Amino acid sequence: MNTSRIIRMAVVAIAAFAMSSCGQMKELQANMDQLKMQVQDLTTDDDQDGVSNKFDAEANTPANATVDVKGVAMDTDHDGVADHIDTDPFSANGAKVDAEGRERDSDGDGVPDSQDMDNNTPAGKMVNFQGKEIEAPASAAIAASYPVYFGFNSASISGSEQRAIAAMASAMRSDSEMKVTLVGYADKQGLESYNLKLSERRAKAVMDALVNSYGIDAARISTMGKGASEMAASDRNDMNRRVEFVRSN
């Protein structure tokens, strides 16, 4: 075999190898591009809720919402109002609520419909915890009024607890001479010195609500804190974190 023929065969072989390698490189690049698209599809999370678009059943969740594994905003009490806009995320099971998750109180007496045994209480009347009108002297009515309850280590008033404050404001508007003392309490968790200050903050928070939200004259209200000195229930800390209304005149 002469030299020129050997050279031609070598050139042909090299060209064939180059063409084969080029095809493999193109195939490899195509596979890489496809893999990148798949990775992007799995990691893209437009609403930034931690669930990728591919698996997100609610693709426009607000930034402050907590979601489940499917990306749907959590609704702890199953009342149809997502937790991030629910002012009372622990409504009673089956209770009817408004657009903000507050349980309905048809007669505005401060007792939610699910607990109210009289849904037609006249405006301004004092009721007990069952929503029944109280026919008693004003001082006794104050003692029987529904306390304002608070969360653990908190002096913030939840939306549901505004009912008790609204009822008290109504009673004070009906009786312009009435003055009240707001007595705050705490549970036994933590230092007593801290709980005393916390109970005072709770009483002050209720006073601020009566004055700022319901227009009651601050001169008719006084506050005091008793810490964990008087337990409403020995085994229910949630019932001990409260503010009670006491008539002071």
Class (C level, CATH) for 105-247: alpha beta
What is the pLDDT tens value at each position of the chain, 249 positions in all?
556 665 666 555 565 555 666 666 666 666 666 766 666 655 666 666 667 766 666 777 777 767 776 767 777 777 777 767 766 777 777 777 777 777 777 777 777 777 777 777 777 666 666 777 665 444 444 544 678 888 888 888 887 788 888 888 888 888 888 888 899 998 888 888 888 898 999 999 999 999 998 899 999 999 988 887 777 766 787 777 889 888 877
* pLDDT score of 15: 57
Strand segments (E) across 109-219: 148-149, 180-184
- Rounded Cα distance between 55 and 118, Å, is 47
- Domain residue limits, the chain: 1-43, 105-247
Residue spans of beta strands (DSSP E) within 1-63? none
Residue-level pLDDT at 22: 62
> Which residue bears the tokens 């005149």?
249
Sign of CA dihedral 190, 191, 195, 198: negative
Strand runs labelled E in the chain: 148-149, 180-184, 221-225, 242-247
Task: Write the CB contacts of 133 (distance below 8 Å, at least 6 apart in sequence).
Answer: 118, 121, 122, 125, 126, 127
CA-wise closest residue to 164 among 87, 86, 218, 242 = 242
Q: Would you state the pLDDT for residue 43?
A: 63
Q: With contact defined as beta carbons under 8 Å apart, do 248 and 181 qualify?
A: yes
Flag whether the pTM goes above 0.85. no
